Structure 1
Amino acid sequence: MAQHWDAVVVGLGGLGTVVAHDLAASGLRTLGLDRFQPGHDRGSSHGATRVIRKAYFEHPDYVPLLRRSYERWFSLEEKVGQSLFVQSGVLELGPEFGEVVPGVLRAADQHQLTVEALSGQEVEARFPGIEGLDEANLVGVYEPDGGYLLVEDCVRAWSDRATNVGADLRWGAAVTHWDVHPDGFEVAFGEKRFTCTRLVLCPGAWAPQLLPEALAQHLQVKRKPLLWYEAGPRYLESGGFPVWLFELPGGVFYGFPTRDRMGLKAARHSAGLDVNDPLQLDRNLHSYDRDPVEAFLKKHLPDVETEQLNHHAVCMYTLSPDLHPLIGEIEPGLVVAVGLSGHGFKMVPGLGEAIAQLARGEAPTCALDLFRPTRFE
């Protein structure tokens, strides 16, 4: 007979570990399942650093989730006695009437957030490593309490906390399928079978294989290379250089200040090749990965030594058509949380709390209406 649990969480990346923690902390017998150990580099929750910011250009409705996430990131740091969140500031650049800069200002105005609007000349004077803004007609917005999260450390910290509050987390096999069962749901984990009253699916890039087809058809998985270069001293975090993002006609580029020997991290947020099988992800580096990023760096961050590539990694984005997540209860006891679209890690403490509330049959503290999973039907 299959072992029965109050709740099973499938996928223990950034989001799933928080959901498992919160369900167990509420007193539910909770089982978490994943193929890989916490902090692995096989999915979307790796790459050393992830951006965190509050003034969300994507939509102002994210801000309450981010406020709650900030609170929980700080609380997690206190509980584990470890630095996880570095407030280096976030600088976002784009056309005055583009998507990013107006979106940041709109969110800041609606939620009374501290954001500084800067002309191109003001940006270059304040951050001398940046050039070419007036020529490209770019202006900036600076969010002083933004920064970055140490992504693998964050996942491991939430995983440890989940275990400490009673969650049973297991790795080493694949969740191959799940089905409705008289006791709620049945989940196949390798050769083992478990039943549960509540099932939460957080499978990341494996969502197209594990979600009902009505939802899976709306998701795309994209390959995303991350690049680390040797860089001049003007890009040192210790010298005040921030996390940065550029909205340009050739795409959206973002990166991080130099914080260690790996150098300055840069990546292209837009574009990306389709991934049909996450287990067969191409982790090699190609000229078509480097060329757009290096052309951007030469123009706007010219002291980056693009001929000196120190390291690379490849992760995956799971994208929805509107680039907002799909989160909600799709039938009684069954909650899905997928399609974080490359910008969800920063808010997993707030999202995880809301998802656990949904799974327990409670109204989420933070509204999730924007993420309704059936909105594309």
Structure 2
Amino acid sequence: MPGLIIFAAQGPAKRLKAVALGLGLALTALTIRHWSSTFTYGYPPCSDCVADFAQFYAGAKLIWQDPSNLYSYAHQVAIQKALDPRIADSTQPFAYPPFMALIIMPLGWLPFPWSFASMTLINAGLLWLVLRLLIRKLDLNQNQTEWLLLATFCNFGVHHVFLQGQTSIIVLACLTAFMFAVLDSRQVAAGWWGAFLLFKPQLVAVPMIVLAFRRLWKALFLAGAMTVALCALSVLLVGLAGITEYFQLLKFYATSESGFGSYPERMHNLRALVQYYIPFSHAHYGWLAFVIPIAALTMWINALDRGLGQTSAYLWIANFAAAMLLTPHLYPHDLALVIVPSAFMLRLCPAPVPWFVAALLILVGVLPVASYVAPVRTPPLIPVILLLAHVASVWQIRKLANSSSSSSGIGARSDLPNPSANAPRA
């Protein structure tokens, strides 16, 4: 009888794998078409879109040639127009801290096509490393690994990173390294990776919450010291006038409804959810009504997990969901971050993975396509799914805490394999 049940369950799973493979191949064809056009001509084949990599290329060239004008919009537009003559006077500027421009400066030494190809290779290598770490350190079995790879193959965010030349896989790699450093109790590495995430300032909040509420003081101090050093380096690179222009750009993003590449209707965070239902003039109140309890719950579960000594998969599902919900900017390419909570969700599943769990992971991966193909603006569903994942994970952590406190003579439990076993040092 158990064998018949497993055989029956494998029917939908096999069909779902075929569907996932087909979706992944369709996204790959789209990615190759856009990527090849950007490599050959400097811009994608569609008339109303540009390659995000142009902003990084402009930043890499300016930090080398004229660092004081790194955030001069006129200088950035001039470089981008040389790559794509279709660009109007309003395009997406380089909005990363100056030290990030210094890191990617070698890309500005190359012709644009080879610089774009180099970014693709960097992203591919980091994606392979992240998947390898997750499979190895979470001890995923063959069935779980297959679904993780298929979910990644169907993840529009991953494809979007490659066709746009974005940095979200670099963010994914840093957050993954940070997470495993925390799990392995390697505070120096945790502090290093937490500080380096400053190149994407809107995602720093949750890593700092993790360090503070798990009382990893050495890591928190190191992260703070490195943050000060990176800020000082940034001022030295572009000067006070350049830093002022950078903060003016950040102020624009924080106070404007849209523009300069900031379009909430294409986002998948709390901001997108709130601004869909509430006019922009009042949306910040609704946004805070979500942000404050989610941030408070994230603080609580990290403090609770520290007290129990657990390394809970639910904790990191909640942490990654919170990071994506709280950030004020979360575009389709940023949804590459769902790879990590997907891996933890698969780790919690019995073998074989239930088909409906795999279907959910694939659905989350392809849902962002709707905002591009729907004839009218559609409600953002990804933040709703992330909210449900966060709340469900908090509930499970609370249950684990109650069961642990009510069990006498039983030590702290863990729903993950030993995190320090066979752990490569970051």
TM-score bucket of the superposed structures, by smaller chain? under 0.3
Q: Which structure: greater helix fraction?
A: 2
Normalising by structure 2, we get a TM-score of: 0.24
Higher strand share: 1
Between Structure 1 and Structure 2, whose CA radius of gyration is higher?
2
